[in-house]
Amino acid sequence: MYHVNEGKMDALVARFRDHTDTLFKKHNMKSIGYWKPEDAPNSQNLLIYILEHPSRQEAEKNWAEFQAESEMQGPLVDPTSFSALK
């Protein structure tokens, strides 16, 4: 599940459609499906997706490599005011 900041759902969906899904494939992550809830408030800020990995060990490796490349364009979430990492 991916929780997105208010007003960023369209940007998130576009990013997954136009960029992220390609990166998933590149990092050996198979997209099974994507869903948005129909009812508010989750329809405004929640994207649900399922990925398939060859194994748990591969999933850990795939996610680490994916995150390093994916965040080159910047995250779609903002750190909280009390977050040690900004």
Domain region containing 15? 1-30
Q: What's the total number of domains in the chain?
A: 1
Contact 1, 46 (CB under 8 A): yes
Bigger pLDDT: 83 or 64? 64
pLDDT score of 73: 59
> Is residue 4 assigned to a domain?
yes
Bigger pLDDT: 14 or 78? 14
> Is residue 70 assigned to a domain?
no
> Is residue 69 assigned to a domain?
no
* Tens digits of residue pLDDT in 22-76: 889 999 999 999 998 999 888 888 999 999 999 999 999 998 888 887 666 566 5
> Is residue 9 assigned to a domain?
yes
Is the pTM above the cut of 0.85? Answer: no
The greatest distance separating any two alpha carbons of the chain, rounded to the nearest whole angstrom, comes to 38
Helices (H), the chain: 9-15, 21-26, 42-45, 56-70
> Is residue 21 assigned to a domain?
yes
> Is residue 52 assigned to a domain?
no
> Which amino acid type is present at position 13?
V
pLDDT score of 68: 80
